[in-house]
Amino acid sequence: MGMTMTQKILAAHTGLSSVSAGQLIEADLDLVLGNDITSPVAINVMKGFSSDGVFDKEKIALVPDHFVPNKDIKSAENCSIVREFAKKHDITNYFEVGEMGIEHALLPEKGLTLPGQVIIGADSHTCTYGALGAFSTGVGSTDMAAGMSTGKAWFKVPGAIKVVLTGSMTGSVSGKDLILHLIGMIGVDGALYRSVEFTGPGVSALSMDDRFTIANMAIECGAKNGIFPVDEQTQEYLQEHAPGKEYKVYLPDPDAVYDEVINIDLSALRPTVAFPHLPSNTKTVDEIDEKIRIDQVVIGSCTNGRISDIRKAAEILKGRHVAKGIRLIVIPATQSIYLQSLREGLIETIIEAGGVVSTPTCGPCLGGYMGVMSAGERCVSTTNRNFIGRMGDKTSEIYLASPATAAASAVAGYITEAGIN
């Protein structure tokens, strides 16, 4: 019986010739990730181990990014715990303020995530790295602790959904619209504990930033991971960000077993918005038959804070101004993206349009800071979740959208697509 991409990667890291869906395995890890919220819990768990050492200081990444720069005493204390742990164990990939970024944008940028790897992170959006052909998935802090200590993790081998992409996207449609469309099709539990494997000729029409966005939100339909095949675009990205590093490419067997196959024509997609309070509650802009007035727009996060996202927002904002009373918050995902945005004049464009620009942080995505909403307010956000109370008061509302739709909505004052007033 053939194996999927994910199953091949897991088999290779388990020392087995093959694995099958439902099988319990113990796999070797290539990278263990934690942030300023989850790492302190894992570090505390490690105190109960017989040895509090780490398996490999090169294969652990600690990225404080949720409440950084610190917003209060508690967040400062959490970061202090991570900082001291990194010093004690001489962790190579610890990123302090000034060099940190939002973890799931930063690690690929630094060349730390590679095809064929097994990566765990104490953050649910660790599945982002599947864009590079890796098996990456979120785990709890206890599993992170065990991974940092032993370099191993237990998994139940997932079954898989095959998503066949054809055609290419048109207009302002982006990877965010594609993943929202898919989640709307199958629901927030439609891929529960399964791998979502993207294939077909349409893959080549997706930029790497599109792929990162899509893999990032695989968790929002319940998936264990999302994964793309390695192609020329992937190789070009790796040549830029991980020059000289070796990696192994895994492709699915011709007779790989999939639970179901979903076909999506990219040319048929339209800008899509997820209405409160689930990522699956989607409508295309054509299906919105009223002017939904908004109070805030957030463009950023591990989902959509990359350079192409900032460029798209600036392109729409150029020569325009946000609607009266609208708060526009733009967050480049890493220092490098921030610097590139400065060099290209994108930051100037955003500020001239009435927006504000933040240092890299997850802040508003989880209702932490830099954009918390009060009762009854509405936000169009390029983040990944719109649950009740996610970004502030439980009566506030979050509408998930692409950077293009978000920027256009900031100018209009209500939800609309790019180019429509």
What is the pTM (predicted TM-score) of this model? 0.95
**247 in the same domain as 116:** yes
**151 in the same domain as 17:** yes
Do β-strands 296-299 and 327-330 pair in parallel, antiparallel, or remain unpaired?
parallel
Q: How many CB atoms lie within 10 A of CB 50?
A: 6
User: Considering its fold, how many domains does the chain have in total?
Assistant: 2
Q: Which of 265, 281, 316 is the last residue of a domain?
A: 265
**180 in the same domain as 52:** yes
Distance of alpha carbon 159 from alpha carbon 16, whole angstroms? 17
pLDDT for 418 equals 76
Which amino acid would we find at residue 120?
A: I
pLDDT for 305 equals 96
Q: What angle do CA 210, 213, 217 make, to 5 degrees?
A: 145
Q: Which of 232, 265, 298 is the last residue of a domain?
A: 265
Distance of alpha carbon 241 from alpha carbon 107, whole angstroms? 10
pLDDT for 322 equals 97
* Cis peptide, bond prior to residue 69, ω within 30 of zero: yes
Distance of alpha carbon 316 from alpha carbon 9, whole angstroms? 41
Distance of alpha carbon 24 from alpha carbon 203, whole angstroms? 31
| Beta-strand runs (E) in 290-408 | 296-299, 327-330, 355-357, 378-381, 397-400
Q: Has residue 109 been placed in a domain?
A: yes
H or E segment to which residue 90 belongs: none
Q: Has residue 346 been placed in a domain?
A: yes
| Beta-strand runs (E) in 6-141 | 24-28, 31-35, 60-63, 93-94, 118-121, 135-138
Distance of alpha carbon 175 from alpha carbon 189, whole angstroms? 20
**289 in the same domain as 155:** no
pLDDT tens per residue across all 421 residues of the chain: 799 999 999 999 999 999 999 999 999 999 999 999 999 999 999 988 987 799 999 999 999 999 999 999 999 999 999 999 999 999 999 999 999 999 999 999 999 999 999 999 999 999 999 999 999 999 999 999 999 999 999 999 999 999 999 999 999 999 999 999 999 999 999 999 999 999 999 999 999 999 999 999 999 999 999 999 999 999 999 999 999 999 999 999 999 999 999 999 999 999 999 999 999 999 999 999 889 999 999 999 999 999 999 999 999 999 999 999 999 999 999 999 999 999 999 999 999 999 999 999 999 999 999 999 999 999 999 999 999 999 999 999 999 999 999 999 999 999 998 765 4
Q: Has residue 87 been placed in a domain?
A: yes
**276 in the same domain as 194:** no
pLDDT for 417 equals 87
| Beta-strand runs (E) in 150-271 | 152-156, 159-166, 194-199, 225-227, 260-265
C-alpha count within 13 angstroms, C-beta hemisphere, residue 251: 6
Beta bridge partners of 32: 60, 120
**399 in the same domain as 341:** yes
**135 in the same domain as 189:** yes
Q: Has residue 179 been placed in a domain?
A: yes
* Residue 289 · residue 411 · CB < 8 Å: no
For 27, 40, 57, 150, 419, the CA distances from 49, given in Å and listed in that order, are 20, 15, 17, 11, 57
Q: Which two tokens stand for residue 348?
A: 């100037």
Torsion of CA 350, 351, 352, 354, to 10 degrees: 90
What are the φ and ψ backbone dihedral angles of 58, each rounded to 5 degrees? Answer: -85, -15
Q: Which of 265, 283, 314 is the last residue of a domain?
A: 265
Q: Has residue 421 been placed in a domain?
A: no
What is the chain's length? 421
Q: What is the CATH number of the domain that holds 141?
A: 3.30.499.10
- Domain assignment of residue 285, given as a range: 271-412
**174 in the same domain as 103:** yes
* Residue 227 · residue 252 · CB < 8 Å: no
Q: Has residue 417 been placed in a domain?
A: no
Q: Has residue 419 been placed in a domain?
A: no
End-to-end CA distance of the chain: 54
Q: Has residue 418 been placed in a domain?
A: no
**255 in the same domain as 347:** no
* Residue 273 · residue 405 · CB < 8 Å: yes
**108 in the same domain as 28:** yes
pLDDT for 52 equals 76
Distance of alpha carbon 128 from alpha carbon 140, whole angstroms? 16
pLDDT for 51 equals 78
**249 in the same domain as 365:** no
pLDDT for 308 equals 97
Q: What angle do CA 335, 316, 269 make, to 5 degrees?
A: 100
Distance of alpha carbon 342 from alpha carbon 356, whole angstroms? 13
**281 in the same domain as 255:** no
pLDDT for 421 equals 47
